[in-house]
Each structure stands twice: as structure tokens, then as C-alpha cells.
Structure 1
Amino acid sequence: MSALSDAQTEAHADAHPGHQLERLAFFSDAVFAIAITLLVIEIHPPHVHDPADTGAYLRALAGLWPEMFGFLISFYSIGNFWVGHHRAFSMAAHWSERLLLPNLVMLLAIVAMPFVTGFMSINGSARVPTVLYSGWLLFAALVNLWLQRRVLTPPVLSDQVAPERIGTIRRRGQAVTLGAACALIACSLAPWPGTGMAALLTIPLWRMLLDARARTAGRRRR
């Protein structure tokens, strides 16, 4: 009876692939939205005691720069992962239960970002928080590659997608992974742990290098 029920469920999913994919995408979008909103909770408005002049308020706001820095980095990172998730699933045409596990692990990585961001922001000059942040970002990037691999290959991938488009999405995911790896190495080895956060700026550079490599390989094949 159980086997029959499972078979009926799979048949129903195969008959309505769009419904299953939409449910997964909507649920994922909600988790991304909640995680990216929770980032701002780590930024606590400063309390300035009276009597206070303009300078006191400005100094209080300036004291929030570690929290603001962490907020901006994580907002960009989560936003980047969401964009990649959206682009990848826009090319999916067939449902597969093999999407569930990597997608859930991806969401696990995302929902923990507010915590590791707050931990780093409060203790930004210490090595352990910055290493934890960079390491978690690398973990999220690797899971993102895992998920993209499932989405951008048969049987999930639409037959109408051009190989060049698939390559572009994969290279973007690879650039984030390489940038996070650079940040983790820099945080672990550099005298000032904050250097690792600057290393995240290499993500656009990695993307340009990977795109240039792909163009060169394409010309050679011709």
C-alpha cells in the first residue's frame, strides 16, 4: 500500500512539475527574505545621553560602523545567493526530489547568516569571529554549487536553455566560492583578521577571470 502511495505521489509530481518547483521556489524566497531582514536586527540604535550636541550623535552613529559593515557585506552575500537561486530555478522544467536536500542545506546556510554576521560585527577585531564568518560563507557557496549542479543538469534542466547561459550561472557561483576561500585564508593568516573581509572584494575579479577563461576556451573550440 505504501509503495502504491509513493508511486502515485511521484506520478502526480511528474504530471505537475511546475507546481512542485513553484512551491520550492516560494518557500526558498520566503526564507531568503526573512534572513536578509533579520540582518538589520543586529544593528541597535545608539542611545545618546542628554545633554548631547550634534557631535555626540555623529560619534554615536560612527560607532556603529562594524555593525553596518557586517550588515552590508551579508546583505550583498545573501542577495547574491538569492539571485543565483532565482536564475538557476528559472531554468528548471522538471521536478526531482533530489532537489530537496541541497535546497534545505542551502537555506540552513542562509538562515544562520544573521548570527555569524552579528558575532563578527561585535567582535570584528578578533580572529575567531572573522574566520567563522568567512568559513560559513564558504560553506554556503559550496552548497550553492551543489544545488546548482542538481538544477542545471538533466532531468531537472529545461531543454530550451542555452549552454552559454548555464556556464554563466555556474561561473558566478564559482566566483563567490573562490572569493570566500580567499577571505577564509586571509582571516586565518593575516596579522589583522579584518583583512579577510577585504578579500571578499575579489569576487568580481574571480568572475572576470572565469569569464575570460571561458571566452578563450570557446575561441579555441572554434
Structure 2
Amino acid sequence: MTTRAKGDRPSGPEHSLERLIFFSDAVFAIAITLLIIEVHVPDLPPGSPHHAYLEALWHLIPNFFGFIVSFFVIGAFWAAHHRMFGLAAHYSERLVGANLMVLCLIVFMPFATAFMSANTGTLVPSVLYAATLLLTGLFNRRLMFIVTSAPVVAADVSPEMIAYVRARSGTVIFGALCALLIAFIDPRFSQMGLLTIPIWQRLFLRRVDRQVARKARAAAA
């Protein structure tokens, strides 16, 4: 239960949980904004012909591509963060370290994106980007399990809901693994591995659907 300090200011465990969520949202917002800041505006001399501007924009296509991919990747991590904390009702000290590790990697992502975009098709930048996503996915899954376990998770959250949320948290991990493996084969196509994320999500959710259906049949028997 939330207590009140002097001046009717909120305090206590629930207030700590709110502060953690608000801080996380701010970090996600800053990180996703930094992505476009890393796409530098072309510096052309005054009076340059039209084709020079078009050529400069053409050279920025890898940067725009990296921006779009990372924008939706960070957006997906924010959505997962929003989804998992929607199930939380209580604060735990364990949340702080696990949440900070996720945020640390989210903040690092604009650099990994810019490094890869500036060196398209090369091994080390592609591996760094995929490895960053993989680590973010692993730490995000760890945070997910803390949030969806006692004492943090709300008492009225069903085991089926917890199973669905946890299943979704593994999809980015497998997508990043695909991207990492492709990077070692041909770095030019590394990011194509991220396109497998919806496929993994469908497979994992179908697996949970089957588990839920089996439990329902067993309960009805």
C-alpha cells in the first residue's frame, strides 16, 4: 500500500515502481530520438546543382535504412517493456539492476546503428549490431521473468497471460541469432535475419496456444 510523506507526496513501493517506469520511458524516448541525430545532414556548398543533393541523399540510404530498422527494434523493446510492466503491481529491488542493463543496451543501440550504417556490408559492424540486439533480448527476457514472477506480478494475472508475454520475449533473441549467423556468412544480408522475428513469434505463440489447450482439455476431463 502506498504511503504518504509530508506534504502529501507519494512514497513507498508502488511509487518506486512508477518512478522506474517513468524513467525507463524517458530513456527509450531519448534513445529512439538519437537514432536520427546520427544521420548527419549533407554539407554541400551553396549553389550546388540538384543532382548533387540527390546524390548526397542516395549515399545516406544505408543510414536511413539503419534508422528505420533500429527505430522499430527499439519501439518493439519499448512495447515489450510496456506490456510486461502492465502486469506488475509491486516493486522489488531486483527490478533496478535488471532494468538498467536493458536500458544501457538500448542507449548503446544508436551507436551500433550508426557504426553499421557507416560501414555497410562489413563483418565487425554487422556482428556488433546483431550482438547488441542479442544481448538486449537476453537481458530483456531476464527482466521479463522478474516482472512476471512473485512478488512483482499482480495477483490477478493469469498463468496463460504470463506464458504469452514470456513467449513473445524470446522472439527477438532468435531473430538476432539469425542476424548474427548471417553476418558471419555474408555481412551484407545480416539484417535480413531480423525479418524472421515475426516467424519466431508465431511459432512461440502457437506453442503456448497448444499448451493452454491441453491444460483446458485436462481440466475439463
Is residue 2:71 matched to residue 1:40?
Answer: no
Question: How much is the aligned-residue C-alpha RMSD, in angstroms?
Answer: 1.5
In 2, are the aligned partners of 1:183 and 1:200 still within 8 Å (CA)? Answer: yes
**What is the one-letter code of the residue matched to 1:129?**
P
**What is the one-letter code of the residue matched to 2:99?**
N
Aligned to 2:114: 118
Q: Deviations over 1:117-162 (max 9, x none)?
A: 1111101121000001000110000000000010000010001112
Give the aligned length: 206
Aligned to 2:56: 60
- Structure 2: distance between partners of 1:219 and 1:91: 22
- Structure 1: distance between partners of 2:99 and 2:82: 12
Aligned to 1:86: 82
In 1, are the aligned partners of 2:164 and 2:208 still within 8 Å (CA)? Answer: no
- Structure 2: distance between partners of 1:27 and 1:63: 36
Instruction: Give the secondary-structure state (helix, strand or coil) at the position aligned to 1:72.
Output: helix
In 2, are the aligned partners of 1:17 and 1:93 still within 8 Å (CA)? Answer: no
Name the TM-score, length of structure 2 as normaliser.
0.88
Is residue 2:179 matched to residue 1:183?
Answer: yes
Aligned to 2:8: none
Q: Structure 1 stretch 173-182 or stretch 160-169: which is displaced more?
A: 160-169
Q: Structure 1 stretch 150-159 or stretch 57-66: which is displaced more?
A: 57-66
Q: Percent identity?
A: 49
**What is the one-letter code of the residue matched to 1:203?**
I
Is residue 2:138 matched to residue 1:142?
Answer: yes
Is residue 2:201 matched to residue 1:207?
Answer: yes
Displacement of 1:61 in angstroms is 1.1
Q: Deviations over 1:69-91 (max 9, x none)?
A: 11111111111111111111111
Is residue 2:21 matched to residue 1:30?
Answer: no
Name the TM-score, length of structure 1 as normaliser.
0.88
In 1, are the aligned partners of 2:160 and 2:212 still within 8 Å (CA)? Answer: no
Displacement of 1:48 in angstroms is 3.4
